[in-house]
Structure 1
Amino acid sequence: MSSWVGDGDEDDGEDAAAAFETVGRRSQILQALSSEPLAKAELVRTLSVSRSTVDRGVERLVDLGLVERSDGGFVATTAGRVALETHDEAIRAMANVLGAGPVLDRLPESVNPPPSLFRDAVVCTGDLTAMEQRTSLDFDLGEVTTLTGFNGPFLFSLWPEGSEQLARLGDSATLVLSAESLDWLSNRYPDGLDAMVDAGVRVCAVDDDPAFGVVVMNRPTTASVTLVVYDHMGGPEALVVSYDPSAVAWGRTLVAARAETARPYRVDD
């Protein structure tokens, strides 16, 4: 029987957790050794730490296979460099999860975002115009080639000209809205909504009225998914934007599932 089956899986998990903690505690040493070999005395001077701290840190990293001897000093192995990058990515993802609390707390239990949604994501709260100014988010639809969205009327509230940009997409755009959101749009932007449908945009509605939306946008070189929650006035309150391919696929699947049960905004004869 293979050694990794059964209880070994639990042991492996404990070992990985211990290694993760070590990489975090010894990240300065691992980072310093990621570019060139350094002797312990050089590490002491570079990091301004005690020799005993360097001795313990290097010994533990060597035991884990993350550092090795080289040219009279020590250097990070390939595993060590990857481990450091993986650790930093995990910390950033955790920070994004914590920052996305206002989004996650508003989601129904049936909506289960994948962990990949928070990998290198942009998390924003507050006024969406201010969000755009504070971050590198690109809300312009000019370069979008396809768009699928569920309950995303914030597109219209931000840019009245958004209907023209969506109409340009024609049948490459699908909007699945709550009945209440569609009523709001049809009352506020009736001409723009009709123009979009005439251009081939699929606009349809579902009966439930969740306080969240998902929008997936494809551009020539990137694809993104936006998960947004709304305040009691229907305005965007917080959002998470991810460019991770698996997160984008999750968003596209969620919108497609909603579209299957939606009824069209307008049925032409």
Structure 2
Amino acid sequence: MSSWVGDGDEDDEDAADAFEAVGRRSQILQALSSEPLSKAELVRALSVSRSTVDRAVERLVDLGLVERSDGGFAATTAGRVALETHDEALRAMANVLDAGPVLDRLPESVNPPPSLFRDAVVCTGDLTSMERRVSIDFDLGEVTEVIGFNGPFLFSSWPEAREQLMRLGDGATLVLSAESLDWLSNRYPDGLDAIVDAGVRVSAVDDEPEFGVVVMNRPTTASVTLVVYDHMGGPEALVVSYDPSAVAWGRTLVAAWAETARPYRPDE
């Protein structure tokens, strides 16, 4: 039995070269993903020179992303997937750049996965859009489970949030900073006791981190939100992702904080 192991650096260079080729020729690859076209048709449809089309098609054929079809050229399955992958990578990179205010505030120990930024919603600076996003993503009406670390914004609509948390019971786990728990117990002592009596797990950590993570399950979707706070404790910037691997990362992170937290016991 024989095995083959490729050169990782060489593979990376080939992938980078192909990525650049797709980016530079994305219009042509997109056109050929819809239907077979001749070079003359590409020139007319894209308003580019024949020499540009010749070079682009030749390069895409060399990469296996385009093939001859019905007297013209058409994108291969690899070509269509490569185009979609390229576009997804660009969107993810744009989200990473937009999320700079979030990422810059995170401690080095918190290392968000790249999947967090795939088709993510990023809100920074615009308080109106952020408040709207928070009201949408933290509406507990359809939520079947919520686990959160340092998410005091979950209580912004008390007593509605209290009623929904009581409905969730042991389907809700909230790890708060000691300061947030003190504020909650002083502001809504009866409500806090009520959600704990309903089965909600509430605990606190001594740290006062400037960020929070919340995972929510709904009947058909799950989301993870990474949020950073301003000096008043309000949301300053956030990233919302529905990517399954990003949600799993958020769940693991909250569970780790929960292991070190002190449970809230109103009767002690």
Please give the TM-score of this superposition, normalised by the length of structure 2.
0.95
| Aligned equivalent of 1:52 | 51
Q: Distance in 1 between matches of 2:133 and 2:205?
A: 34
Change (3 A) 1:127 1:141: farther
| Aligned equivalent of 1:172 | 171
Q: Distance in 1 between matches of 2:11 and 2:34?
A: 29
Instruction: Calculate the aligned-residue CA RMSD, in Å.
Output: 1.8
**How far is the alpha carbon of 1:158 from its aligned partner?**
4.6
Change (3 A) 1:158 1:104: farther
Q: Deviations over 1:123-152 (max 9, x none)?
A: 002365532547994331100000000000
Say whether residues 1:191 and 2:204 are aligned partners: no
3-state SS of the aligned residue for 2:156? helix
**How far is the alpha carbon of 1:215 from its aligned partner?**
0.3
Q: Is the 8 A contact 1:127 1:236 kept in 2?
A: no
| Aligned equivalent of 2:213 | 214
Q: Is the 8 A contact 1:171 1:200 kept in 2?
A: yes
Q: Is the 8 A contact 1:23 1:84 kept in 2?
A: yes
| Aligned equivalent of 1:41 | 40
How many pairs align?
A: 267
185-194 or 17-26, larger mean C-alpha shift: 185-194
Q: Distance in 2 between matches of 1:177 and 1:72?
A: 65
| Aligned equivalent of 2:113 | 114
| Aligned equivalent of 2:254 | 255
3-state SS of the aligned residue for 1:33? helix
Structure 1 stretches lacking a partner, 5+ long: none
Q: Deviations over 1:65-100 (max 9, x none)?
A: 000000100000000000000000000000000000
**How far is the alpha carbon of 1:258 from its aligned partner?**
0.5
Please give the TM-score of this superposition, normalised by the length of structure 1.
0.95
Say whether residues 1:65 and 2:64 are aligned partners: yes
Structure 2 stretches lacking a partner, 5+ long: none
Summarize the alignment of residues 1-269 of structure 1 with structure 2, pairs less than 5 Å apart: 4-5=5-6, 8-126=7-125, 130-131=129-130, 133=132, 137-266=136-265, 268=267
Change (3 A) 1:132 1:40: farther
**How far is the alpha carbon of 1:184 from its aligned partner?**
1.4
Letter in structure 1 aligned against 2:5:
W
